[in-house]
């Protein structure tokens, strides 16, 4: 009944509801970390730096490690702490590890942000730490693949993706469905985004960007029963990415994939190989 009422009201006042949907899209929700995730963050060398009006929180672990550095890129409404179990495994394997909280994410300062502020920050981080190895989760794959496609000077040795969306339009669909707005509101939201981004939403596809990235070897891991992000999205990215491998996991879902020992062992092995 409530969803139906919102749908009817949004049909009558599409501009107002488009603003509500836009605010939801540009103000990520910050989720509380588990105690052990906080413990892992506390082990890091933490620093802040200014970026696009935000104070961005960065993290560095095992900076004197013997192995090549890796950069961790979290998903939308995620944060560096989500990688804590993986960080502990990578420290044990003696990798140097870097991570950050995106604009208005985690322990970075809060405010209205956007897809492209997040994307440009990924570009800054890759060059700041001079990394050749990357790990992303969920939307982090969207940001990273766009950066690598747009900047052909970036050459990556290994890139591990814990799931990845393909089409940005699916994020808009999710927001529209969660708010319960009408197709007219969704059209207005898309029009506003396209005007601000100076790009067409149907062109924002990871499966297109990966065709031109300079990555020697990529591995995509995705739970076959992921209810948050259908496996077909990651599969379509893989089909269009010549240097990628695809492996399914089971029993982890979209988020527990980052906390499952067998999956983390596979991740470390990928970089050790």
| Residue 7 sits in the same domain as residue 85 | no
Q: Can you give the residue range of the structural domain that contains 10?
A: 1-30+168-200
**Count of domains in the chain?**
2
| Residue 65 sits in the same domain as residue 21 | no
| Residue 47 sits in the same domain as residue 77 | yes
Q: Is the pLDDT confidence value at 176 over 60?
A: yes
| Residue 88 sits in the same domain as residue 209 | yes
Percent of the chain clearing pLDDT 90 (strictly above): 70
Neighbours of 36 (CB within 10 A): 13
Distances 90 to 34, 68, 247 between C-alpha atoms, Å: 19, 11, 20
Cβ pair 210, 147 in contact under 8 A: no
| Residue 4 sits in the same domain as residue 59 | no
Cβ pair 214, 242 in contact under 8 A: no
Q: pLDDT band at residue 116, thresholds of 50, 70 and 90?
A: confident
- Give the residue with greater pLDDT, 112 vs 12: 112
| Residue 70 sits in the same domain as residue 106 | yes
Cβ burial of 221 (10 Å; 0-12, 13-18, 19+) is buried
Q: What is the pLDDT of residues 226-241, one digit of tens each?
A: 988 899 999 999 999 9
Which of 200, 220, 249 represents a domain boundary (last residue)? 200
Q: Look over the chain and give the mean of its residue pLDDT values, rounded to a whole number.
A: 88
| Residue 64 sits in the same domain as residue 85 | yes
Residue with tokens 């960080």: 87
| Residue 42 sits in the same domain as residue 144 | yes
| Residue 65 sits in the same domain as residue 159 | yes
- What CATH number is associated with residue 241? 3.40.50.1820
- Integer Cα distance of 44 and 42 in angstroms: 5
Q: Is the pLDDT confidence value at 36 over 90?
A: yes
Query: Residue 158: beta bridge partners?
Result: 133, 217
Q: Phi, psi at residue 46, to the nearest 5°?
A: -100, 135
Q: In sequence order, which residues have a C-beta less than 8 Å from that of residue 239 and are 6 or more positions away?
A: 207
| Residue 109 sits in the same domain as residue 150 | yes
Per DSSP, helices labelled H in 50-130 are 84-92, 115-129
Q: pLDDT band at residue 174, thresholds of 50, 70 and 90?
A: low
Which of 157, 184, 200 represents a domain boundary (last residue)? 200
| Residue 138 sits in the same domain as residue 128 | yes
Which of 157, 182, 200 represents a domain boundary (last residue)? 200
| Residue 95 sits in the same domain as residue 57 | yes
């Amino acid at each position: 009944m409530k969803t139906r009422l919102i749908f009817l009201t949004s049909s009558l006042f599409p501009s107002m509801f488009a603003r509500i949907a836009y605010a939801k899209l540009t103000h990520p929700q910050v989720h509380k970390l588990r105690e052990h995730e906080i413990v892992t963050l506390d082990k890091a060398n933490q620093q802040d730096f200014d970026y696009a009006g935000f104070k961005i929180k960065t993290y560095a672990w095992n900076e004197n490690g013997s192995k090549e550095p890796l950069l961790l890129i979290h998903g939308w409404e995620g944060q560096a702490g989500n990688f804590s179990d993986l960080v502990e495994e990578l420290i044990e394997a003696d990798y140097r590890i870097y991570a950050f909280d995106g604009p208005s994410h985690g322990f970075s300062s809060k405010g209205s942000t956007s897809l492209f502020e997040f994307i440009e920050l990924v570009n800054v981080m890759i060059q700041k730490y001079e990394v050749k190895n990357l790990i992303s989760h969920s939307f982090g794959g969207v940001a990273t693949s766009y950066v690598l496609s747009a900047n052909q000077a970036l050459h990556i040795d290994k890139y591990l993706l814990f799931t990845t969306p393909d089409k940005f339009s699916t994020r808009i669909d999710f927001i529209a469905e969660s708010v319960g707005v009408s197709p007219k509101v969704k059209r207005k939201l898309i029009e506003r985004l396209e005007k601000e981004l100076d790009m067409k939403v149907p062109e924002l596809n990871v499966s297109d960007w990966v065709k031109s990235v300079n990555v020697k070897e990529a591995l995509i891991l995705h739970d076959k029963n992921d209810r948050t992000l259908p496996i077909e999205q990651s599969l379509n990215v893989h089909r269009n990415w010549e240097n990628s491998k695809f492996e399914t996991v089971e029993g982890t879902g979209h988020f527990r994939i980052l906390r499952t020992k067998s999956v983390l062992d596979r991740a470390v092995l990928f970089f050790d190989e």
